[in-house]
Amino acid sequence: MNSLIRSTARCLRAGAAVYLPRQADGRVLAASARLLCAAADLQKDLGNMVKKDKVVVFMKGTPAQPMCGFSNAVVQILRMHGVDDYAAYNVLEDQDLREGVKVFSNWPTIPQVYFNGEFVGGCDILLQMHQNGDLVEELKKLGIHSALLETEKESK
């Protein structure tokens, strides 16, 4: 299903080049130049997006309705630590974002997690950080008190 959507998007993009307005002398503005400008803008936007909030997640679907097992795992882990207030961007809504964030982070897959504008990793890394206690520490650095610390206190 995804490949069908992807190839449709590719066709539409390629088709757009055919309808470029011609200038007075008949020259056609290069579509590739415009696409490059849009891509560069996205990279700049991403730079702002990851710094705007303490915790930023690029995922498939939304925290209320994740559309992928790995994205869901990230949402569940954050929820376990009581982190409910974070910026989540759904890459399935925007194919340019989906590809652009991979370039921006130099990371091949989704989900992607950022803490204080710094790339943390994907689902694997977040899970390992959760298991070895690093996640509680990193959240503390962000000024976020992990909910799991509360349960530890209660059980003592």
Partner 1 sequence: MRSVTPTSSRTVTEINMAVTADHIRDKIIKELAAVHVDVEDTSPNRCAASFKVLVVSSQFEGKPLLQRHRMVNTCLAEELKEIHAFEQKTLTPEQWEKQKSQ
Residues 100, 48 contacting (CB under 8 angstroms):
no
The residue count of the chain comes to 156
Answer yes or no whether residue 113 interacts with partner 1 by CB under 8 A: no
| Alpha helices in the chain, H assignment, sequence order | 2-16, 31-52, 69-80, 95-105, 123-131, 134-141, 147-155
- 86 or 107: CB nearest partner 1: 107
Answer yes or no whether residue 129 interacts with partner 1 by CB under 8 A: yes
Judged by CB under 8 A, which of 25, 108, 153, 154 binds partner 1? Answer: 108
**How many residues bind to partner 1 according to rule CB under 8 A?**
16
- 118 or 150: CB nearest partner 1: 118
Answer yes or no whether residue 99 interacts with partner 1 by CB under 8 A: no
Q: Please give the DSSP secondary-structure letter assigned to residue 118.
A: E
CA 109 – CA 136 distance, rounded (Å): 24
Which span sits near partner 1 by CB under 8 A: 13-21, 22-30, 40-48, 122-130?
A: 122-130
Which span sits near partner 1 by CB under 8 A: 18-26, 48-56, 103-111, 142-150?
A: 103-111
Within residues 36-75, the interface with partner 1 by CB under 8 A covers: 70
Judged by CB under 8 A, which of 56, 88, 91, 123 binds partner 1? Answer: 123
Within residues 68-97, the interface with partner 1 by CB under 8 A covers: 70
Residues 151, 93 contacting (CB under 8 angstroms):
no
CA 91 – CA 52 distance, rounded (Å): 18
DSSP for 20-34? Answer: PPBPTTS-B--HHHH
- Chain residues in the site for partner 1 (CB under 8 A): 2-3, 70, 106-109, 119-125, 128-129
